[in-house]
Structure 1
Amino acid sequence: KKGKLRGVESQGMMCSIQELNLTKDDYPHAAEDGIFILQGEPPLGKDIRKVLGINETVIEFEISSNRPDCLSIVGLAREAAVTLGTGFRKPVIELKEEGDDAPAYASVEIKDADLCPRYAARIVKDIKIGPSPRWMRDRLKAAGVRPINNIVDITNYVMLELGQPMHAFDLEYLQEKRIVVRRAGDGEIIKTLDGQERKLDSSMLVIADGNRPVAVAGVMGGENSEVTENTRTILFESANFNGPSVRLTAKKLGLRTEASGRFEKGLDVENVITAVNRAAQLVEELGAGRVCKGIIDCYAKKPEIRTIVLRPDKINALLGTNVSKKEMIDILEALEFTVDEDTMTVTVPSFRPDVEREADIAEEIARFYGYDKIESTLLSGKSSTLGKKSFRQKVEDIVKNTMVSCGLSETYTYSFTSPKVFDKLNLKEDDKLRNAVVVSNPLGEDYSIMRTTTIPDMLDIISLNYSRRVDEARLFELSYVYKPKSIPVSELPEEKEVLTVGMYGNLDFYDLKGVIEELLEALGIKNYDFEREEGCPVFHGGRTALLTINGNKAGVLGEIHPEVSEKFEAPERTYIAVIEVEPLVQNTNLTPEYVQLPRFPAVTRDIAMLVSDDIMVKEIESIIRQRSGKILEGLKLFDVYKGKQVPEGMKSVAYSLTFRAADRTLTDDEVNKAMHKVLEGLKSSLGAQLRE
């Protein structure tokens, strides 16, 4: 493209290979920092990318997490072949092999088959470390992978081509010439290939030799066994690791790699051998070494073969299509599903972990039949009704709106938790809350059971906010707890919806109680009460109340025990309420009641008194209501104080009393008499002292 430089017309530029983002490995004849002289006589004006052969088109795919098989060229080619109807040709792998059998050089032992069901290895001798050929380097760079040397490049190339991460060990540095797949010891240290020392724990899987870890399984290799220019014999690793385990390890170490990103999605256990053989084939093709005979294949745990019954009528009813049985079978077989036409049983290939039920089969058929061929239809049927919210949903809306109006922020937490939280809550060994539903395939130990209480989740959120120097927080969550009906679990657990409220900062128990009272009023619930609760180890004794509605337990609220707060690294004064939603739904009254505006004025009096610290507010209010008679319209607690000017073991309690008569204006004499009765009752029953 012509241009002007300082007023002079220019036909092009003179560049070095560095300025063109090329390397001397790609063009050995080029000077490192001098002008790049093109070989031959390329025509003037031709695009430099075409002259150098670097004008390939790179297509980027966004692969969903449930399709790890498509994180490879082969997986994408399989999908494209079915889409285009061209037929899929699997790569042909042929090896020469020579010398002794691989098992004579090394052994493999798997100590945890759940975390590593299969581990395969091949031995390559007389390694010649050097740069990879131009075609391989170009393909790796196009995929965003930096070429290093022929051996490392082969492992990366196989990962991109087949979707199976691999690793190469220098066999000379594997002590006792052993590979042991085991859990790490707590506090065990490994220096990974990025030069960082990593502290491991027993939840992590490692590849070890006879004495020490040499790789973090599925994440990154160790520096103590890496391939160098002096390497002469290597062991190629191709293994299958448990996805959730790899994900948890990578998360704990803060080390997410291309390999871990693939393993955590769940890879094909049957692809292990194909990958290690392909790596060996590339070694032979590149002349990088001599591949020893045989393969070390430790297959500790074979997965169950998944079969699904295919019902064409059901598939068509689900999709709203009229696809023939033959067409369905053709689509599935093209995708490498095996179909037994006699029993109409579909065997799912091992590389498709996302296909588990008939609906998944229907999805595969719909994808390749064509969504555009599925005709749009209108809903029909006499049973159609206008959509509306159920009564329970209306109650839930009122709960959320009331919480927000009280200044609370909504949170969302996982329904999974760890068994360790029960010890942090100070629960006894025989506490019923410890009976939890165990998750069969958890994301990790921290998510291995279904929660039976929401208090740990709320404390975790409070702890997070507190650690970030948030001075005050008011939070709530509507969620579920899961309580098994029997142990061991033989049926679905009981799911209970609960409201959890958490607070800390410049507030106290009565702020929390006020929020709950505001909610009960919004729901039209009147027959409720708060009773002293001292039997819960999670809460502070004497600062906890039990909420009852119509005499039945509906929840608990109070200050968290200081020991529990300390274990969760939460503020010392943390307040939490857990209220069951079902009693709220059963007792909610959304029918508004008409109340006539008062015709006569009210009289307000305030009263402050000293009472013993162990006297409950409920007792005080009961006496005030009894002694005031019918003219008491309202009673409001507005202050509770302990500290200076208040004797030890005592507290100051202040109320505002509102008096009104429905048929007349009250006189000062009537109100004074009522107040006198109240004070006498408080003094005689509770030993209260009036504060002037």
Structure 2
Amino acid sequence: MFVSYNWLREYVDLSGIDAYELAEKITKSGIEVEGVEKKSEGLKGVVVGHVVEREKHPEADKLNICQVDLGGEAPLQIICGAPNVDKGQKVAVATVGAVLPGNFKIKKAKLRGEESNGMICSLQELGFEAKLIAKEYATGIFVFPNETEVGTDALEALGMEDYILELGLTPNRADAMSMLGVAYEVAAILGREVKWPEINTVEAAEKASEIISVSVDAKEDAPLYTVKVIKDVKIAPSPLWMQTKLMASGIRPHNNIVDITNYVMLEYGQPLHAFDYDRFGSKEVVVRRAKEKEILVTLDDAERKLTPEHVVITNGEEPVGMAGVMGGANSEVNSDTTTVLLESAYFAGAAIRKASKDHGLRSEASSRYEKGIDPARTREAAERAASLMAQYAGGTVLKGTVVADSLTIEPAVLSITLDKINKIIGAELTADEVVSIFERLKFEVKSENGEFTVTVPTRRGDITIEEDLIEEVARLYGYDNIPTTLPVGAQAPGKLTAYQQKRRQVKRTLEGAGVYQAITYSLTSEEKVSEYALEKRDPIRLAMPMSEDRSYLRQSIVPQLLEVLKYNLARQNDSIAVYEIGSVFLSNRKEELPDEKEHLAGALTGLWLSHPWQGEKKPVDFYVAKGVIEAVFDTLGLTQNISYQQAKIHGMHPGRTAEVLLNNESIGFIGQVHPTVQKELDLKETFVFELSFEKLASVDVEPINYQAIPRYPSITRDIALVVDKEVAGGKLESIITDAGGKLLKEVQIFDLYEGERMEPGKKSLAFSLKYYDPERTLTEEDIAKAHEKVLKAVKEEAGAELRG
């Protein structure tokens, strides 16, 4: 909402306070003023001139030599290229030494041999936006009315010696979408009165009801519809002061009738519309829902296909306007219009919003109807507009107003106590102070024994509950005046929970390892929703998805991370490792919210290490990915609780995928993406993992126990075991660890052999076993006993034989 400071002064006394102070006070009271702009800032030297002579430039077809009277001793010669410049016009002239927008300075010049002592200006050259300039001046200079005095300040005549306050209104403050609404706000802040416009209408003897009737079929959508009739109007430009106020508010002037409807809309917040009576097509106005596939050509010459969800104004047969949004071209006010039907109505916001959204039409009128207008101003705004049409269009206002009224909106009546106000605000206001605030807001208030009964005027439709009244008291009292208090109760320092600490530790570990954090959508497509899910349930579809690609809540993070890799690889970022700790969503019964579980997932591709100088390159493989998650397990103190077993998962490589077990319970997987999937996504060899972070973080880990460094030497024994190819190395390692007893401290696998001289279906796995006793030096006999138990166990439990 753009608010002219000078225009605002017509409704409320602003003496003693400038535009910048006012902006600060409005902001502190709850409506943010996003900026204050002086339209003439940096401009000077522009005056009103009178073109006394105009002739063609002898050396240029598109230039004119003008003699312009600026109120001095003699006219000045100015060369002008505007197509509409002519003798007898009053124009804006930038004199020699003047400064225009962009710090453009006017100097004496010669154009094709002729001297030019200034510049005749268009409104664009003075800083007006092209979209706000009346069409007749959009491609040429601006022409002032004949009564404009020569030599006066053109910037002042154009309303540029003004300050424009830009209000950032929240949707609930529809009352401030009008000059009178802002005046009420400012008057409440300053403790002053609001001055309403004077309406002086002399009505003719002829009654409006004799030439037009009104009926409303869609009473819920249009509970109040009024029509006034103004005859004998003469279409002409509106007064300059009105045009400048409209442009300052972001509206382009058209003609006196249309400009008056827009002016009153800005003034009262009540949208109006003027129909040409002679083009209307009948003597009745019927407001109804549109018929299926009914057609209306709107003022922008676009053909609109209507549905029964849209409210239309009709002549009883065909639509002549889309209610609250835009009028129809078939009843538009034109240069030959003589009789005007003036509409002022109260339309339901939901119906107007529906039509505006369906047709992509966002007008000043629709934006006000959507947020809610004051029904108490509907009739008065029409009277104000009719009065102005009589004054500035020479019209004759017919007697009375034709009305269809089923409106039942009443002012809200709320009660609240002084104790509650003070308790919520944290202040110690008296009853008189609270009453004073309500009276400044022009709310009717009765106070009795510390309880207030407040009647809220219909212009403030945002106030419906006690808390709204408390907010009004707080903001008018002044947020800066509310004392600072500390919360009452036991105080405890804030800290991370154990779960949050573990999440942060894991993030640091992964990022320290060179894996970047990614944050992806929680929404995915129907095709991907169940891919790589650790736990599959019925997919959850959104009721109103943005698109089919984002229509389901994800059950796995891996598909999104693969999309991250695809995006980066397509942009030549071919070595990348990413992780995400995020939620997946698993459905319950339809009437319940889904389970939201936190997972840890990662995806790696390309080179893990690259040292070109040493000629060393290490591509990502299964063991790199496994090393990354083992670093996580080590951080959480879970290394001894983790084991792996071969797994087959859809979308994963059948021979390079493992299931991850925590205390023998599956918590996720790790492995290479299936080559077919890699090809579909244009990926190179890619390794992924996904784990249940909730299960990882929920394990209680015993405190770290420290042991003294052994003083006695250890003894290492290496063994190579021949087993069936189906026997997993992890199984052998587990058997060796259990059989080795207290003396066996470490077991590591270091070789796999499946080459020549090995029986078909067999393989050789080599392990390194470290024995030691922290209390004594082990003898060969001690080692032999322990080692024999190991060999016996692997033979009995896995059929392993020592390799000869």
Q: TM-score, normalised by structure 2?
A: 0.55
Aligned-residue offset at 1:80: 0.9
Deviations 1:256-304 (A, max 9, x none): 846599469x612x536735862574255225787894345687xx999
1:401 matched to 2:508: yes
Distance 1:545 1:243 in 2: 58
Matches within 5 A, 1:274-353: 274-275=377-378, 278=381, 281-283=384-386, 285-287=388-390, 293-295=401-403, 310-335=416-441, 341=447, 344=452
1:476 matched to 2:580: yes
When residues 380 and 17 of structure 1 are mapped into structure 2, their CA distance, relative to the original with a 3 A threshold, is closer
When residues 6 and 84 of structure 1 are mapped into structure 2, their CA distance, relative to the original with a 3 A threshold, is closer
Q: Of 360, 367, 371, which residue of structure 2 is paired with 1:267? A: 371
Contact 1:166 1:238 in 2 (8 A): no
Contact 2:732 2:794 in 1 (8 A): no
Aligned-residue offset at 1:81: 1.2
Aligned-residue offset at 1:131: 3.5
Contact 1:660 1:666 in 2 (8 A): no
SS, match of residue 59 in structure 1: strand
Count of paired positions:
626
1:527 matched to 2:641: yes
Matches within 5 A, 1:71-470: 71-88=177-194, 97-100=208-211, 102-104=213-215, 107-108=217-218, 121-122=225-226, 130-150=236-256, 152-154=258-260, 156-163=262-269, 179-180=288-289, 206=310, 221=326, 227=332, 229=334, 239-242=347-350, 249=357, 257=362, 259=364, 262=367, 267-268=371-372, 271=374, 274-275=377-378, 278=381, 281-283=384-386, 285-287=388-390, 293-295=401-403, 310-335=416-441, 341=447, 344=452, 360-376=468-484, 379=486, 383-405=490-512, 407-411=515-519, 454-455=554-555, 469=570
Distance 1:147 1:386 in 2: 62
- Tell me the amino acid that sits aligned with residue 320 of structure 1: G
When residues 298 and 572 of structure 1 are mapped into structure 2, their CA distance, relative to the original with a 3 A threshold, is farther
Contact 2:520 2:561 in 1 (8 A): no
Aligned-residue offset at 1:593: 4.2
Contact 2:345 2:378 in 1 (8 A): no
Task: Name the residue aligned to 2:92.
Answer: none
Distance 1:362 1:577 in 2: 51
Aligned-residue offset at 1:83: 0.9
Distance 2:172 2:483 in 1: 27
- Tell me the amino acid that sits aligned with residue 250 of structure 2: G
Aligned-residue offset at 1:587: 1.7
When residues 312 and 666 of structure 1 are mapped into structure 2, their CA distance, relative to the original with a 3 A threshold, is farther
Structure 2 residues not aligned, in runs of 5+: 1-44, 46-95, 98-105, 607-619, 756-762
Aligned-residue offset at 1:673: 11
1:587 matched to 2:699: yes
Structure having the higher Rg:
2
Aligned-residue offset at 1:141: 0.8
Aligned-residue offset at 1:138: 0.9
Q: Report the aligned-residue RMSD.
A: 7.0
- Tell me the amino acid that sits aligned with residue 634 of structure 2: E
Deviations 1:104-146 (A, max 9, x none): 5x75477xxxxxx667655576787654332321111112222
Distance 2:378 2:246 in 1: 17
Task: Name the residue aligned to 2:168.
Answer: 62
SS, match of residue 61 in structure 1: strand
Task: Name the residue aligned to 1:622.
Answer: 731
Aligned-residue offset at 1:76: 1.8
- Tell me the amino acid that sits aligned with residue 50 of structure 1: E
SS, match of residue 147 in structure 1: coil
Aligned-residue offset at 1:331: 1.9
- Tell me the amino acid that sits aligned with residue 385 of structure 2: L
Aligned-residue offset at 1:503: 4.6
Distance 2:269 2:211 in 1: 29
Distance 2:580 2:352 in 1: 30
When residues 683 and 479 of structure 1 are mapped into structure 2, their CA distance, relative to the original with a 3 A threshold, is closer
Aligned-residue offset at 1:244: 13
Worse-superposed segment, 57-66 or 597-606: 597-606
Distance 2:772 2:677 in 1: 51
Contact 2:109 2:116 in 1 (8 A): no
Distance 1:465 1:164 in 2: 55
Aligned-residue offset at 1:155: 5.3
SS, match of residue 524 in structure 1: coil
Aligned-residue offset at 1:397: 2.4
Task: Name the residue aligned to 1:114.
Answer: none
Structure 1 residues not aligned, in runs of 5+: 111-116, 640-644, 646-652
Task: Name the residue aligned to 1:650.
Answer: none
Contact 1:173 1:224 in 2 (8 A): no
Contact 1:623 1:681 in 2 (8 A): no
By percentage of residues, which structure has more strand? 2
Aligned-residue offset at 1:196: 7.9
SS, match of residue 473 in structure 2: helix
- Tell me the amino acid that sits aligned with residue 394 of structure 1: Q
Aligned-residue offset at 1:55: 1.9
Aligned-residue offset at 1:623: 3.8
When residues 51 and 68 of structure 1 are mapped into structure 2, their CA distance, relative to the original with a 3 A threshold, is closer
Q: TM-score, normalised by structure 1?
A: 0.62
Contact 2:749 2:765 in 1 (8 A): yes
Distance 1:315 1:304 in 2: 25
- Tell me the amino acid that sits aligned with residue 118 of structure 2: M
SS, match of residue 139 in structure 1: helix
Distance 2:664 2:107 in 1: 91
Distance 2:146 2:666 in 1: 87
When residues 678 and 404 of structure 1 are mapped into structure 2, their CA distance, relative to the original with a 3 A threshold, is farther
Task: Name the residue aligned to 1:642.
Answer: none
- Tell me the amino acid that sits aligned with residue 426 of structure 2: G
Contact 2:225 2:405 in 1 (8 A): yes
